[in-house]
Amino acid sequence: MHKILGTILVIWLCGPLAALAADAYTLADGSSVSGDIVTVDNNGVMFRTGPETYSEKISWLKFSQDALKQLSQNAKARPFAEPFIEPAPAQTGPAPVQLADMSEVRLPLAPKRSLIGALFTSSVGLILMLLVYAANIYAGYEIAEYRVRPKGMGMGMAAALPVIGPIILLCMPSQSHLPQEPLSEEAMAAAPAAAEPQRFAMPGTTPPPASVPAPAASMPPQEHIQIVASGFSGAPPPSESNTEVFQRGQFMFNRRFFETKFPGFFSIARPEADRGKILVVKTASALLTVERISRISANEVHFETIQGEQREEIMVPFGDIQQVQLKRKA
């Protein structure tokens, strides 16, 4: 009987001692809870605080960081407690900077070479040289047009002799100041002879023959009137004086010249007084028989010509015109 009572006494005393030996966990509000872990899940932890007493399920958010770290030591509670543990703060402050020894570091110097070699070995230099070369060829084209020379010759000289070629071409005289090229046999056959002045004797006198000069002592002096072909306003002169020639150098070929000298050639239906006239224009490369002046601007004129049985409109710059002839049909 004494043994049974001693056993009951020992069991009764072990309950409080076990409770005193259980772990204590602090909460975020400053209180604490102690006991054995009964159940653990995502919602929290339930403790057994006494032999027959149990705590409510405490949420993970109510535990302090120390309690969470303490619970993470338990194998059952570790997977649920670790996500709520705040990581340790990282070390603040600048990291130490180590300076390298720059006393022996030297940048390599570029190799020494000429300016021309440097231009041709870099992409920027090549592009620059190509632009200068293209500008040189364009200068040859413009100078050839200014000097009334073939455009191909000017561009060829500039391409073969950069800078020097355009200078040589600029020092050469203009094409219009050079001696005129002799006309071909067909052009000379088509062009009439130079106009001779017409002589008219006063009424009551008999002019001497053109081939036999009259003696100065036997015949009295006679009065003569000379009328050149360009100033004749009556009937057309003979065939020898049916051409008016306008040479470059004596006349300035521009828009005003053609509008004042040949107004009848601008209309589609030519006036009666101009129907028997033919306009011949000589350029540096061709001899044009003009039927009508279709258009004209400040720098060029458009001639409507007849080539065989076809009408063709040809644009001619004023600088290319060497001579203009106005012929009258016989």
Per-residue pLDDT, 104? 67
Can you point out the beta strands (E) in 176-299? 198-201, 224-227, 243-247, 277-283, 287-296
64 in Cβ contact with 81 (< 8 Å): no
Q: pLDDT-derived band of residue 217, with 50, 70 and 90 as boundaries?
A: very low
Q: What CA dihedral angle connects 211, 213, 214 and 217, to 10 degrees?
A: -170
Per-residue pLDDT, 75? 85
Distance CA 298, CA 294 (A): 14
Per-residue pLDDT, 182? 53
186 vs 213: which has the higher pLDDT? 186
Distance CA 324, CA 69 (A): 115
Per-residue pLDDT, 246? 94
31-to-18, 26, 62, 63, 264 alpha-carbon distances in Å = 21, 6, 10, 10, 123
Angle between helices 164-171 and 123-146 in degrees, nearest 10: 10
Which of helix, strand or coil describes residue 197? coil
Which residues are 24's β-sheet partners? Answer: 34
Per-residue pLDDT, 11? 55
Per-residue pLDDT, 273? 77
Q: pTM for the whole thing? A: 0.29
pLDDT at 40 over 80: yes
pLDDT at 109 over 60: yes
319 vs 196: which has the higher pLDDT? 319
Which of helix, strand or coil describes residue 317? strand
Distance CA 302, CA 292 (A): 9
Across the beta sheet with 277-283, the strand order is 243-247, 321-328, 277-283, 287-296, 300-307, 310-317
- One DSSP character per residue, 11-46 reads HHHHHHHHHHHS-EEEBTTS-EEESEEEEEETTEEE
48 vs 1: which has the higher pLDDT? 48
169 vs 20: which has the higher pLDDT? 169
Residue 222 has which token pair? 């006679």
174-to-178, 180, 181, 233, 319 alpha-carbon distances in Å = 7, 12, 14, 37, 10
Average pLDDT over residues 192-207: 48
Which residues are 310's β-sheet partners? Answer: 307
pLDDT at 153 over 60: yes
268 in Cβ contact with 311 (< 8 Å): no
103 vs 216: which has the higher pLDDT? 103
For the segment 157-180, what is each residue's pLDDT rounded down to a tens digit?
A: 999 999 998 999 889 887 654 444
Q: Is 44 left (phi over 0), alpha (psi -120 to 50) or beta?
A: left
For the segment 252-298, what is each residue's pLDDT rounded down to a tens digit?
A: 999 999 998 888 888 888 787 777 888 899 998 888 888 889 889 98
User: What are the CB-based long-range contacts (under 8 Å, 24+) for 118-127?
Assistant: none
User: What is the rounded average pLDDT for all residues in the chain?
Assistant: 75
For the segment 292-301, what is each residue's pLDDT rounded down to a tens digit?
A: 898 899 899 9
